Chains A and B, each alone.
Chain A
Amino acid sequence: MSNKVIYAIYNDDDILMDAVKKTRAAHHHIEEVFTPFPVHGLDKAMGLAPTRLAICAFLYGICGISFGTWMMNYIMIQDWPQDIGGKPSFSYIENMPAFVPIMFEETVFFAAHLMVITFYMRSKLWPFKEAENPDVRTTDDHFLMEVAVNENEEELVSFFKSTGAVEVKVIEKQ
């Protein structure tokens, strides 16, 4: 079986949105949509599941505050409880206000950085990664929808022509 896909290219985000809705209504499977900028509501129209990145960030933040608390407790209270300028280092809670800036920053640091790294890993982005751009114009002013072809090539091409595509290409994928 050949790996043929259709590249339907649009030059307006409103037309793209309509085309996505029609394609979904016609039950064609959308492999991917390439756009030069975020199109508001595109994920909803495509029926993509909502991201869980925020949940990750919350959990990373909890790790961060735990790390900050553990670190300050170990260093300042357990390991070497010195008297520094009369600050009470008998127990963590007594000297807690002094540690809050650190706990806060650790929370933000962990949440932010680990979330970004999670994003890179989940979306497979890293330096020297080969770009997966199917058509250079999609980074500038064109929108591209990629749809898998089964046997109905003729029918699909005419369908995408009717959705307002400026260009419809059938490509053999490796």
Chain B
Amino acid sequence: MYTFSSKLKTFSLILMAVGLLGIGYGFLTAPKDIQEVEKLLAAGSHGEHAAVAHEVEKSSHEAGVTAEHKDVADAKEAAEHNEHLTHVLHQLQNKPWSALYVACIFFLLISMGVLAFYAIQQVAQAGWSPVLFRVMQGITAYLPVGSVLLFIFLVLSGLHFNHLFIWLDPEVVAHDEIISNKAGYLNFPFWIVRAAIFLIGWNLYRYFSRKNCLAQDEAQDDLNYKKNFKISAGFLVFFIVSESIMSWDWIMSIDPHWFSTLFGWYVFASFFVSGITMIAMVTLYLKSKGYLEYVNTSHIHDLAKFMFGISVFWTYLWFSQFMLIWYANIPEEVTYFITRIQLYNLPFFGAVVMNFLFPLLILINTDFKRITWILVMAGIVILLGHYIDFFNMIMPGTVGDQWFIGVSEIASVLFFLGLFIYVVFTALTKVPLLPKRNPFIEESKHFHY
């Protein structure tokens, strides 16, 4: 049995407390009205605006317009200025919400990645992984907690506490034919019901799979194992459909004018590799504390191979999505990437470096895949890289050029990281870390590669 070390518990509680403070700070310092935005803009970047305004004024002078004309021009300019300020205000008000949303969905999907990996291992009757099943079940213990938090967030979005999903705003939909044509799919009741169905479905699988796995320990036959096999197969079918729709609903609908057909797979690859990395990280931690007797470097090696392979798979999808749109350059699709390349240049390409180049060069070596510190380093880079990947997917549609990885963003990650550690390691203390009567457990104990 694992005991939650008091140090780690304190650490996770500190992370949550610091995170909460930071999140609160982010919400308190978000501007309330356009006057504050104007002050912020004047303090921050007084170059551009003033210069443009000045030039406009000068040119109208040079043209020798009458006073009447000048008034009209001024009024128009003031209106435009006001519109701009309102736009920036919305972006800045979105910022703490978006930061919270990115972290919330990232940690929820990490536990989903682990759950999908776990189901695949069950269905594939993998001979190496049963010694890691309890670790995976421990990590997926975050799923119910994360689901509730995300669902609350989605409901709050529907109740107009924030402006992340612009299609939830009837005012926007009324003036936007493209969005109003999608209203049959993108409407709040349907959207929230879909979210509920997906979250409930995933949680049900997790609950029953774990229950059967524990029952199998005490049973005399393999009935529970077979039951798990069947529900895992069913879950994987449900998962791949719900995952695809989930990625449209929760991520792609941030940019409701844009669509991409391989988006579901792309999101899947991103959190799948994060999930596998998280399994490797938690396994290495527990192993280093001496809790996983039968886990050897071959198990770690296998996890590292998955980290490597799925990282390359993510890159393949990233590039396929990017290159097809870049190549054809159709205006209604390409704006998505133009925003990202112009405003998010470093995070956009930095994610490729962190999620592809770094793991490619580090994890290609067989010996390196067995060395703890190298794996921990690669794992941290992959996890950070995929956080940035989700950041890139969500932020440009909500905060645009007002992005910054500051207090709100870091605090949100710290809060959810603390919560994740607390929930996962608490769950790990509940049951023994080695399944007793799994049909493949003996093979798994003696696995070597």
Contact = CB atoms under 8 A, between A and B. Distances in A.
A86 B329 CA distance: 10
A116 interface: no
A97 B364 contact: no
A86 B327 CA distance: 10
Main secondary structure of the interface of B (DSSP, over half): helix
A97 B323 contact: yes
A97 B326 contact: yes
Nearest to A86: B329
B25 interface: no
B145 to A, nearest CB: 40
A42 to B, nearest CB: 16
Interface of A: 54, 58, 86, 97-98, 100
10 cross-chain pairs, A with B, having the tightest CB-CB distances, nearest first = A97-B323, A97-B326, A98-B327, A100-B319, A100-B323, A97-B327, A97-B322, A58-B364, A86-B329, A54-B366
A5 B400 CA distance: 78
Contacts of B366: 54
12 contacts: A54-B366, A58-B364, A86-B329, A97-B319, A97-B322, A97-B323, A97-B326, A97-B327, A98-B323, A98-B327, A100-B319, A100-B323
Main secondary structure of the interface of A (DSSP, over half): helix
B305 to A, nearest CB: 14
Given A86-B329, A97-B319, A97-B327, 9 more contacts: A54-B366, A58-B364, A97-B322, A97-B323, A97-B326, A98-B323, A98-B327, A100-B319, A100-B323
Contacts of A100: 319, 323
A58 B364 CA distance: 9
A98 B328 CA distance: 11
Nearest to A61: B364
A107 to B, nearest CB: 11
Contacts of A97: 319, 322-323, 326-327
B395 to A, nearest CB: 23
A97 B329 CA distance: 12
Interface in B311-337: 319, 322-323, 326-327, 329
A100 B318 CA distance: 13
Interface string B167-211: 000000000000000000000000000000000000000000000
Contacts of A58: 364
Contacts of B319: 97, 100
A100 B364 CA distance: 20
A34 B366 CA distance: 28
Contacts of A86: 329
A98 B319 CA distance: 11
B348 to A, nearest CB: 13
Nearest to A54: B366
A97 B324 CA distance: 9
User: Which of A54, A58, A97, A100 counts the most chain B CB atoms within 10 A?
Assistant: A97
A101 to B, nearest CB: 8
B120 to A, nearest CB: 26
B362 to A, nearest CB: 13
A78 B319 CA distance: 25
A98 to B, nearest CB: 7
Nearest to B325: A97
A38 to B, nearest CB: 15
A169 B124 CA distance: 48
Interface string B353-382: 000000000001010000000000000000
Nearest to B319: A100
Contacts of A54: 366
A54 B364 CA distance: 10
B233 to A, nearest CB: 31
Contacts of B323: 97-98, 100
A82 B326 CA distance: 19
A58 B363 CA distance: 13
A100 B352 CA distance: 14
A164 to B, nearest CB: 25
Contacts of B326: 97
A100 B356 CA distance: 14
Nearest to B326: A97
Contacts of B364: 58
A90 B409 CA distance: 38
A152 B322 CA distance: 71
A100 B322 CA distance: 12
B447 to A, nearest CB: 14
Nearest to A97: B323
A100 B326 CA distance: 13
B321 to A, nearest CB: 11
Interface string B119-138: 00000000000000000000
